[in-house]
Structure 1
Amino acid sequence: MLGSAGLLTLVTLLGLIAGLGREWLLVASWGAGARTDGFLIALFIPEALRIILAGGLLSSAWMALYQERSEPERAVWLGRATFAVGLLGLALALVLSLGAPWWVRLVGPGLAAPLRPITQEALQILAWTMPGLLLQSLWSVPLQAKGRFLLAGLSSLVYNLPVVAYLAWHRTESFEPSLAWAFVGGSVATAVLMFPSVRAHGLLARAIRWHAPTVRELSTRVGPLLGSALIGQGLMLLERMVASYLGEGVVTVLNLARKLVNLPLVALMSVNQVLLGLMSKGGGADRLPLLRQGLALNTLVTTPAAVGLLLSAQAIVALLFPNVQGTDILAPLLGWYAVALVLAGWNTLLARYNYAAGDTRLPFVCETSGNLAQAVTLPLLAWLYGAQGMAMALLLGVVVNGGLLLHFNRLWASVRLPTLVLAGALSLGLSAVFLLPLWPVAPLIRLAASAAAGLVCLLSLAAWLKPWKAVPA
């Protein structure tokens, strides 16, 4: 498990670097002005859908459907599912493309009128990333079921490379339509990359046809997950709206904090996708030991990363974003986000524990309850405590989600929860209370010291939790 997760983490990290390079080149070429804002508004919905797909939600839902069939049935099912998913991709592309003027007004109501035509044109092109991205997500299922995770992990890198190459080559001479077509090219490349392998694993041309029961089956599994993911995207929009009332620079700092905290999720996604494949192969008795081992591994990944982010936040901002104002609130904001990161890692794996059994409804109900708790408390906590109040609301939502997952799965006594909570609390508490006030100010020295602290945390937790060993009941 560790070897597969490590390899998948490496290739996914390359994709993340390409994605960060894409954003960096875009700002460097066009500046942080209205033109960049317009293109990012056009990209918002396609990128939100890609994030949902890249998070493995659809492949997680479809994995159980694939695993429960015999080999001949899998080939037929895969062909029918390919037709259905391809048709869905075309439908989404048409909805986004034909409705571009309304989508642009929804996402960017304050966008200047002269920028609307070019923004709408960009969205009309970007909409056609949907078919390739959806097919790539489906075609990763048979490969992951057989323990082949590399091609699926390469999708983000392949998707971003044409965009990075175009921006790096044309820089200030790049244009919105051409850049949008580079995104479409990347989406097609992700599907083309998967096609030879998925055909070798059972995709038959004669099976690619309409089949109503397969469509209903896919919809039943995907509906709850997609609804939950869309609610999450709506919450991100609500966060931005509330942050805009908290003072100049809060939206920027909030966005930066989100990006920094999301970095360790690359490794978590890899670990959890590998664990999903393993848990899908066994019954309930086999899934529980894997869940215990996976929770320990999640803690080992997220806690040192959270410690490092908490201690190095000011140095990262000073080195990469020297002109960003209001960075004094970033460190305490990351303190709350760091705790949420550790808990969110557990929640993701607990949800996949249900996905492996073919249950997508319970995680949806639990996550929706957590999102509702966050949405209700967000305005009040933001009014009382500013940006930190927004992070508190996020943490509350994560706690509600995790508590419900543990409760309805009756796992309170089945996982080493006290040990995991103590490991995370000690690491983050000691860092925030004792190390942060004494940490060096010079950015490079601060970065080095934070990396050393994260490494010490990693080694200490590895010796304590031993996630490479099966955890006894």
Structure 2
Amino acid sequence: MTTTASAGLKAASLTAVLVGCGSLLGFGRDLLLATTFGADSATDAFLVAWMIPETAAPLLIEGAMAFLLVPLFSRAVEQGGDVRYLVAATLPHMVVALLCLTVLTAAGAPWLVALLTPGIADPELAVRCMRLTSVTVLMFGLAGYLSAALRAQHAFGPPAAITMAYNLGIIACLWTFQEVGVSAAAVGVALGAMGMVLIQAPAFVKRCGRPRRPARRMLLPLGAFVPIAAFTLERQGQVLVERFVGSSLPEGSISHLNYAQKIAQVPMILSLIVATVTFPHLVRAITAGDGAAVWRRLTDDVVVAAAIVLAATAVLVVCAPDIVRVLLQHGAFTDADAEATAQIMRVYSLGLLGQAVVGVVCRVFFCGTRPAWYPALAMAAGLAATIALAIPPWGVAGIAAANAAGITLSAAILLAGLRGPAIGLPPRAIAGPAVRLVLAAVLAAAAGWGTRSLLAGLPSAAVLALTAAVTAAAFYAVAALTGTEEITRMIRMRGRA
């Protein structure tokens, strides 16, 4: 194994461990929130306020900020430039802009609550929580900036640890200040966001040093940022649609949607770890004009992500009731809450493949130096489909189905865009493995259903562990039997990444 391959494997493994720990803490956070406060008008109010960090995170950490800054820092490193000049030229302006947005968000909280969730039962509590969570606009922006700079220099540990810091802050406040009500969670969000910056600051200072004033004025390529931001906000718009429509449904509907989404998205997040590590390499391949290397990297990442999320989809569809009972059905979280959440999770999980494909494929459109509007147009089509399908009479399951349909449409449009002259990805490069993996997911789900029916009467934890193991094993067995050479090639190429 070469030094490059060893470094890539080490980075992916470290990132996987840290992100996995962050996800486990996220489970703990949601479990503590559910068992302490259940699913009612108060949790709905907090989740309305949580839309601020939920929107800021993809825009300022993993989404637009990364798509803008990772290529910028990567090109500076590749060309042998001093990144301290780049930091001095860009960071102060970004901080001022983020401060202004933070103040505007806090001041405009009453109008935002009324606009986003007009039917919310406790708007005053939602406003108080939103003002507390507005600090995430500044903190997430700084965290995203530090993450981009570190990843471009192949430092993946501190950026991967930010989710741990964030969730630890929320859990600590929920545990310590739960007597003040759900506002404790909002305070935790603010403190957790600060932790995301602090955990990266030492590594950033070590790697970049003190900023140096550049000899000539340098500006962020805001022309490239606009389409990236539009894409990211449209993608997050699906959550806004959920909260808007859910606010007119029975009390607790927003909470049920949130719990189901948070659990179902964990495999999607894990599926994008490799893509996160390979992003700087993708930037360099595109910058060098090596089309063959670009689509090889892209197909590898898509197949890896698809294999993870489709195996997880099979498990989620079969085991949703058991997952919810084991993780959430404690304390104030009732049987009715568990049933509603499980139903939503099953439907929502059908869109995980689309979520993963969008997360992997969109990167290639944002690596160039010219703005790319195609991903924003693809997401606009998906968002329009979500809005059209998410109607109150269909209830929370209908909202989840609309979300899945919208993101799947966006994924299909993005894949179609890869056939253009800029990339020239052959359709068969992804279509063949995708069909095999979907078949494996269907057969694995069938095996899981059979196993679960045989285990009826056992404790939920035992049913979940055994059924999930059988379902996952069946998935990978079928995938190997239907495409051994493709899976073997994928693993070998990943080892050489």
- Tell me the equivalent position of 1:451: 469
Rounded to whole Å, the distance in 1 between the matches of 2:115 and 2:272 is: 30
Correspondent of 1:10 among 7, 10, 17: 17
Tell me which residue corresponds to 2:192.
186
> What is the aligned partner in structure 2 of residue 83 from structure 1?
92
Matches within 5 A, 1:60-459: 60-69=67-76, 70-112=79-121, 116=124, 118-173=125-180, 176=183, 180-207=186-213, 214-215=219-220, 217=221, 219-242=222-245, 254-282=257-285, 283-285=288-290, 286-322=293-329, 323-325=334-336, 337-358=348-369, 360-379=372-391, 382=394, 386=398, 389-390=401-402, 393-394=405-406, 396-408=408-420, 411-413=424-426, 416-433=429-446, 435-436=448-449, 439-440=452-453, 441=456, 442=458, 443-447=460-464, 448-458=466-476
Superposed CA deviations along residues 8-55 of structure 1, whole A, max 9, x for unmatched, are 122112222223322332343444333333333333223321244343
**Which residue in the other structure is 1:40 paired with?**
47
Choose from 9, 12, 19 the match for 2:26: 19
1:470 matches 2:488 = no
Pick closer, same or farther for the CA change 1:417–1:237 going to 2, 3 Å: same
* Cα offset, 1:328, TM superposition: 7.0
SS at match of 2:23: helix
2:174 maps to a residue whose letter is: L
- TM-score, structure 1 normalization: 0.85
Measured after TM superposition, the shift of residue 86 of structure 1 is 1.1
- The separation in 2 between residues aligned to 1:396 and 1:380, in whole angstroms, is 21
Tell me which moved more, 328-337 or 139-148. Answer: 328-337
1:330 CA displacement: 7.2
Q: In the aligned structure 1, how far is the partner of 2:348 from the partner of 2:182?
A: 36
Q: Deviations over 1:186-237 (max 9, x none)?
A: 22222222222222323534439995x514x1x2222212222222232223
Aligned residue for 1:207, secondary structure, equals: coil
Residue pair 1:350, 1:405 contacting (<8 A) in 2 also: no
Q: How many residues align?
A: 465
Do the aligned partners of 1:374 and 1:393 also contact (CA within 8 Å) in 2?
yes
> What's the CA shift string for 1:104-141, capped at 9, x where partnerless?
3223433456x61x543433332223222211111112
Distance of 2:219 and 2:278 partners within structure 1: 26
Q: Secondary structure at the match of 1:91?
A: helix
2:3 match? none
- Contact kept, 8 Å, 1:8 with 1:150, in 2: the verdict is yes
- State the alpha-carbon separation in 1 of the partners of residues 398 and 40 from structure 2: 26
Amino acid at match of 2:231: S
Give the counterpart of 1:49 among 47, 56, 62: 56
Amino acid at match of 1:214: L
Structure 1: how far apart are the matches of 2:12 and 2:382? 28
CA shift, 1:244, in A, is 6.7
Residue type of the partner of 1:41? V
Q: Matched residues in 2 for 1:37 and 1:162: separation?
A: 20
For the structure 1 residues 144 and 155, does the alpha-carbon distance in structure 2 shift closer, same or farther, using more than 3 Å as the test? same
Report if aligned partners of 1:339, 1:395 keep a CA contact under 8 Å in 2: no
Secondary structure in structure 2 of the residue aligned to 1:183: helix
Counterparts in 2 of 1:208 and 1:93: CA distance versus 1, 3 Å: farther
What TM-score do the two structures reach when normalised by structure 2?
A: 0.81
Structure 1 residue 274, shift from structure 2 partner: 0.9
Aligned residue type for 1:436: W
User: Quick one: percent identity of the two aligned structures?
Assistant: 20
SS at match of 2:219: helix
> How far apart, in 2, do the equivalents of 1:335 and 1:25 lie?
22
Moved more, 91-100 or 432-441: 432-441
**RMSD over equivalenced CA pairs, Å:** 3.5
| Worse-superposed segment, 131-140 or 120-129 | 120-129
Per-residue displacement from partner, 1:46-92 (whole Å, max 9, x unpaired)?
Answer: 33212443434311221122222334353211222211221122011
CA deviation profile, 1:228-275 (whole Å, cap 9, x unmatched): 222223222323444677889876654444233211122123221112
What secondary structure does 1:163 align onto? helix
Contact 2:143 2:200 in 1 (8 A): yes
Change in CA separation of 1:39 and 1:317 when aligned onto 2, cut-off 3 Å: closer
Are the structure 2 counterparts of residues 98 and 246 from structure 1 closer, same or farther at C-alpha, using a change threshold of 3 Å?
closer
Whether the 8 Å CA contact 2:322–2:463 is kept in 1: the answer is: yes
Residue by residue over 1:365-420, the C-alpha shift from the partner in whole angstroms, topping out at 9 and shown as x without a partner, is: 2222333344345449959x956753663365245433433333554526622322
Runs of 5+ consecutive residues of structure 1 not aligned to the other structure:
none
Aligned counterparts of 1:66 and 1:175: Cα–Cα separation in 2:
40
